[in-house]
Chain A
Amino acid sequence: MMRLTVDTIDQVIEVIISKESVRLDLTGVGFIDPYSLLLLVLCLRYRQMFGSPLAVRWPVRKDALGWMRAMGFFAEIDDPKRTWRSEASSRSDALQPITHITREDSVSRLVNAFDKRLHERYPLTDEARNALVKIMFELFQNIPQHSNATGEVSDPYGLAAMQDYTDSIFLAVADMGIGLARSLSTRKDLMDLSDGSALNRIVYDGLSRFSDPGRGGELRRIAQLVRRWDGLLIIRSGEALLYMDAERGDIYDAPYFPGVQIGLRLSRRVFGIDSPMVDNGAFL
């Protein structure tokens, strides 16, 4: 069984964004995490934008296909102009389907919808619940605030999704905007940073495209929380990818893809959810 996760999705991206590729075979895929799901949506849309859609063979495993459908994946790639949805999925194993983020004034509503969905499934501790709400506020509003800061993206939007597993809760947020380096380049003193350097300066130094010292620092704060909570944080921008867990935080080269894509996996223990660590689609 092939798993599309933070560790493997870049191989698929390489195939998808290559102009020579005409088909993508996902028949052997039995598991997809929310980060990979959002990247898959964006990559397929990226191909459509350039007038070279891919022929995709979908997973044959019913549970994988069913989860993708319940997460709104097929509706998303069939009709990208759909507005955001927050209806609960009829399938109990899909926690929060793919949701559109376009405007800052809808961010509070979206955060509350995500939180409600999680709260309906688990009796979370207030501390953990509020911490996750803060993270969502910052990640979601980054899309309307930064993903098209230069005004060069014709249809700016972001996607978010969330899924629970036997060992963790996984939140993913992704856009196809200008990316971190281009965003920082709007500052004269940060014009020529590579994707990796931009990622480094934002996550470790707390920089933002604003010289105002009160702006920025949110991704750094999130990274600190993830480390404290023994979680996993993936931030991808352009040709760089940050992989951070409790022990390390390294930036790697990655196949180019526009925008910023973030995956955040937190142990269920953080949320006060005590459950056995059995492998049922979990990340063990």
Chain B
Amino acid sequence: MNVMNELTFPIAPFGVRLGTRLEGKGAREKLLVTLESIPEPGRLIVSLDGVEVLSGSFADETIALSCARLATGEYGDRYLVVRSPSLEIAEDLSHKLERRHLAMFCLIDGRIEVLGQLAFPMRETLELVNKLKETTAKELSELLGIRHNACLHRVGKLTELRLIRREEIGSAGPHRAYRLFSVIYT
């Protein structure tokens, strides 16, 4: 069963107009402490509600750098998701994620966007995982009509970016078998 612990980290207490790296660094330290406090598997919703301006510098220092550290596996089975009142507010964050070759989910008024850099085949796979909520690489490769190895590559990349959750469930022939979970629909 795909159950995740969740906390929300509001950015607005740091200011409604967020601009400098110095301020961003202070916010990042608090964000990472909160992230680490969530039992695994855990999801931290970084809320931009109430924020009017999020500069590229602040966004990079607070959110993109946290996302980069998450991608190294430093925070275990935990995930970051942004919630924003509009795509415009998260625009500079998306640009910074792109520069870092990272991607993040952004929840906007019930809709899901992917911020940052994610090629079409990855987006296609990600959308399918979200639709199925829980699946396997075998099922995915069949539904996508691609080779199993190609599917494993996509799944590996999406896992590395912390956009899906992967649990090893044994092996299937020469390959490891994984159960894949959406980090949004839990």
Contact = CB atoms under 8 A, between A and B. Distances in A.
B22 A104 contact: yes
Contacts of A221: 56, 92, 95
Contacts of B53: 130, 133-134, 137
Say whether chain B's binding surface is mostly helix, strand, loop, or mixed: helix
B15 A214 contact: no
B26 to A, nearest CB: 10
Query: Size range of the interface on A?
Result: 20 to 34
B55 A217 contact: no
A127 B86 CA distance: 12
A112 B19 CA distance: 11
A137 B88 contact: no
Interface stretch (B72-80, B96-104, B137-145, B154-162): B96-104
A201 to B, nearest CB: 15
For B17, B88, B100, the residue with the greatest tally of chain A CB atoms inside 10 Å of its CB is B17
Nearest to A216: B99
Given A130-B52, A134-B53, A108 B60 contact: no
Interface in B59-111: 60, 64-65, 68, 88, 92, 95-96, 99-101
25 contacts: A105-B22, A107-B20, A108-B19, A108-B20, A108-B23, A111-B19, A112-B17, A126-B52, A133-B17, A133-B19, A134-B55, A134-B56, A134-B92, A137-B53, A137-B55, A138-B19, A141-B22, A141-B57, A214-B64, A214-B65, A214-B96, A214-B99, A214-B100, A217-B99, A221-B56
A141 B95 contact: no
B148 interface: no
A186 to B, nearest CB: 17
B133 interface: no
Nearest to B65: A214
**Those 10 A-B pairs whose CB atoms lie nearest each other, nearest first:** A137-B19, A137-B55, A214-B60, A104-B22, A130-B53, A213-B99, A134-B55, A141-B20, A133-B53, A214-B100
Contacts of B58: 137
A230 interface: no
Nearest to A136: B19
A92 B88 CA distance: 34
